[in-house]
Structure 1
Amino acid sequence: MIGADQHEGEPNRAAGLVPALEAIRLGRRADDRTDAVEQVGRTLIDIGAVAEDYLGTMHQREAAGSTYIGEGVAIPHGTDESRAHVHRSAVAVVQFPEGVDWGGEDVRLCVGIAVMDSEHVSFLASLARVLIVPDQAERLRSARDARSIIQILRSTVSNRS
């Protein structure tokens, strides 16, 4: 449920991070993993969540090890040190229907994460609950509108035990 001071898609600190509508980009194309990280990082910059310098740390983190987590999803993010470049915690989602080669894996959904502290833990748990159910994972990867992505992620937050 959205609180009185919360807009649809904005994070609810008690329930974990949920992407805002303007942080979701559907039907995109990327030449490669670097381009995909660039697009999701630019989305975080565009919504005012991070400073320009955060984008470089996302590329550094990806170079250090793949952020692919399975089921066609990658979660690019910065390093612990990059938190100095985070203005507010946020999640951005960029969908690549044609897929992006991610070190031999096919990524269809890129979820960029920027956090000031540990809010990402509950979000990652919610994302994991979606990805372990093949039908839900497919619905998330192939969503046709931003509200569907928010609804899928929000439902796992509200249904947790």
Structure 2
Amino acid sequence: MTKQMLTENNIELHQSFETKEQAVRQVGQILLDNGYIKETYINKMLEREALVSTYMGNYLAIPHGTEDAKTEVIETGLSVVTVPDGIDFGDGNEVRVLIGIASQKDEHLEILSQIAIICSEVENVEKLVNASKAAEVIDLLQEVN
């Protein structure tokens, strides 16, 4: 039996970080703590970030591992961290919502597509940032689950 990709345990609201690296590590740590990835996947997420920023626009970043990191994924999962005060992702890009993705195959492409559609409207990103309960985040992203 497979577990859900996104549960309340995978969501942390109203966080703050000094650096982009800390934020990426945290979304990875949530995936690790909930059994979706091996610890080495977090380094692959940082590697990906060093190659190409996962900043997507509209205050959103979607950290994920490099192409060769699929072997570090135990089960496809998502993590969500909101940072109301924002974090600098470089080049003047401010991120307030991070959605970490771990997937074994090409499942992440469909997930990315759904997230992109939902977050293409800045109002939806604001709703995520302002959520007071994890359940609100799940409701907003329910099409991804």
Structures share fold, TM-score greater than 0.5: yes
Q: Which residue of 2 aligns with 1:20?
A: 7
2-structure distance, mates of 1:52, 1:88: 13
Q: Which residue of 2 aligns with 1:56?
A: 43
Q: Which structure 1 residue ranges, 4+ long, deviate > 4 Å from structure 2?
A: none
Q: Which residue of 2 aligns with 1:47?
A: 34
Larger Rg: 1
- Indicate yes or no: 2:78 matched with 1:107: no
> Offset at 1:94?
0.9
2-structure distance, mates of 1:50, 1:29: 23
Q: Which residue of 1 aligns with 2:16?
A: 29
RMSD across aligned C-alpha pairs, in angstroms?
A: 1.8
1:151 to 132, 135, 139: 139
1:129 to 107, 110, 117: 117
Q: Counterpart amino acid of 2:33?
A: D
CA gap of 1:30–1:157, structure 2 versus 1, over 3 A, is closer
Give the aligned length: 144
- Indicate yes or no: 2:74 matched with 1:92: no
Secondary structure, aligned partner of 2:56: strand
Unaligned regions of 5+ residues in structure 1, if any? Answer: 12-18
The 8 Å contact of residues 88 and 115 in structure 1, kept in 2 or not, is answered as: yes
1:76 to 43, 63, 70: 63
Bigger shift: 101-110 or 132-141? 132-141
The 8 Å contact of residues 97 and 108 in structure 1, kept in 2 or not, is answered as: yes
The 8 Å contact of residues 72 and 141 in structure 1, kept in 2 or not, is answered as: no
Q: Counterpart amino acid of 2:50?
A: A
> Offset at 1:132?
2.1
2-structure distance, mates of 1:6, 1:48: 11
TM-score (structure 2 length as normaliser): 0.92
2-structure distance, mates of 1:45, 1:101: 24
Q: Which residue of 2 aligns with 1:15?
A: none
TM-score (structure 1 length as normaliser): 0.83
Unaligned regions of 5+ residues in structure 2, if any? Answer: none
2-structure distance, mates of 1:133, 1:72: 11
- Indicate yes or no: 2:138 matched with 1:142: no
